[in-house]
Amino acid sequence: MKKKKTRIVVIGGGTGLSTILRGLKLHRFDITAIVTVADDGGSSGRLRDDYDIPPPGDVRNVIAALSDVEPLVEQMFQYRFSQSADLEGHSLGNLMLTALTEITGDFNHAIAEMSKVLNVHGKVVPAANKKVTLHAELNDGTKIVGESKIPSGHAPIKRVYLEPGNVKPLPAAIHAIERAEYILIGPGSLYTSIIPNLLVKGIGEAVVRAKGQKIYIANLMTQLGETIHYSASQHIEAIHEHVGQPFIEAMLINEKRLPSSIYENYREENAEPVQFDVEKLEQMGIQIIKKEIAIIQDGVVRHDAKNLADWLCEYTGQNKN
């Protein structure tokens, strides 16, 4: 008799979320990805404003990451137009999700239908089913409207918040969180990919209440305009402050020191490897898990999808496929 799949929820957005899902889908996990809908730049932002829908970009990337189709089909879904003034910058997947939303009248329904077409392993659930706008208040009192503009601020971020503030989560998101055995948060941009999910009324509270273990997958590098000079503990403190109470129980960090050449590659962005202040984290009651989870591709540091998936199989006692 086959062992039942381990139920996991992964919360985030951007390339970090898509990267780890590509590894997890190859194993016997019951996956629900809760995806940020705070993006307002590029193709996603244009479709969001033109059609009054949540931005499809992060959702599109997650669907592609969890899909099981021929490489050419995924390539087509991710194809970005470049020769037409009207279509320039739009990806085919974004246009398809927008069309399905118009046809079905519901963004989440569109995601479910697209997931069937692309044979997605698991469920993809938007953090909210309607358009929201991310705002930031900086330490110098400046206020910024729009996710895409926040990283260009010239002072540290004090807090971020959503408008409308009373946007409700989908029941599917709450149900997945409540039944999850493990809740993975991150990796991804702290203030623009991770925290916005937890600001949706009901999602943060459900994560705090949930019985499943809450694990934060640490970012590998700090990020210009968001987390410059942030230590690992400051990442967690920012999440806890926005949710209103501590809840993260464990943190997965990269155990191998990154080569010094990486510092040079990121110098222009004023970014650096995240400092893992283990003593402070342990004082906060955080269990530290160290694994080699970084990979360097073309001079860029990324999370290693295979190593992350192998670690989670081992950690949860789930047999590898």
Q: What is the pLDDT of residues 39-48, one digit of tens each?
A: 999 999 999 9
Q: pLDDT at position 2, please?
A: 64
Domain boundaries, the chain: 6-316
Whose CA is closest to 105, among 51, 50, 31? 51
Written as six digits, the tokens of 309 are 């998936």
Dist. CA 195–CA 235, nearest whole Å: 10
Whose CA is closest to 253, among 240, 236, 237? 236
Task: Decide if pLDDT at 319 tops 90.
Answer: no
Q: What is the pLDDT of residues 286-303, one digit of tens each?
A: 999 999 999 998 888 999
- Terminus-to-terminus CA distance in the chain, angstroms? 15
Q: Rg of the chain's alpha carbons, rounded to an integer?
A: 19
Q: How far is CA 220 from CA 106, 238, 258, 289, in A?
A: 36, 17, 9, 14
Q: Give the 3-state secondary structure of residue 291.
A: strand
Written as six digits, the tokens of 77 are 């879904």
- DSSP summary character for residue 91: B
E strands in the chain = 6-12, 29-35, 123-126, 133-138, 143-145, 157-163, 182-185, 213-217, 250-254, 287-291, 294-297, 300-303
- The alpha-helical segments, DSSP class H, found in 105-201 are 107-117, 171-179, 195-199
To which H or E segment does residue 206 belong?
Answer: helix 203-209
Q: Once rounded to an integer, what is the mean pLDDT over residues 157-172?
A: 96
Q: How far is CA 246 from CA 35, 139, 146, 201, 240, in A?
A: 22, 22, 27, 17, 5
Written as six digits, the tokens of 95 are 């246009």
**8 A C-beta contact, residue 188 and residue 242:** no
Q: pLDDT at position 182, please?
A: 98
Q: What is the dihedral of CA 176, 62, 92, 191, to 10 degrees?
A: 100
**8 A C-beta contact, residue 294 and residue 256:** yes
Query: Could you tell me the fold of the domain covering 6-316?
Result: Rossmann fold (3.40.50)
Task: Decide if pLDDT at 281 tops 70.
Answer: yes
To which H or E segment does residue 245 belong?
Answer: none
**8 A C-beta contact, residue 232 and residue 199:** no
Q: pLDDT at position 135, please?
A: 98
Dist. CA 230–CA 224, nearest whole Å: 11
Whose CA is closest to 252, among 171, 187, 299? 187
Q: Once rounded to an integer, what is the mean pLDDT over residues 168-174?
A: 97
Compute the mean pLDDT over every residue in the chain, rounded to the nearest whole number.
94
Q: pLDDT at position 260, please?
A: 83
Calculate what percentage of the chain has a pLDDT beyond 70.
98
- b or e along 49-61 (b: 16 or more beta carbons within 10 Å of the residue's beta carbon)? eeeebbbbbbbbb
Q: Which residue has the tokens 């993809």?
A: 124
Dist. CA 313–CA 273, nearest whole Å: 26
Task: Decide if pLDDT at 1 tops 60.
Answer: no
Task: Decide if pLDDT at 259 tops 90.
Answer: no
Least confident interval from 4-8, 118-122, 163-167, 258-262: 258-262
Q: pLDDT at position 86, please?
A: 85
**8 A C-beta contact, residue 53 and residue 107:** yes
Q: pLDDT at position 50, please?
A: 94
Please give the residue that has the higher pLDDT: either 154 or 101: 101
Q: What is the pLDDT of residues 62-99, one digit of tens each?
A: 999 999 999 999 999 999 999 888 899 999 999 999 99
Q: How confident is the model at residue 165 (pLDDT cuts 50, 70, 90)?
A: very high
Whole-prediction pTM value?
0.95
Q: How far is CA 186 from CA 19, 179, 239, in A?
A: 11, 19, 11
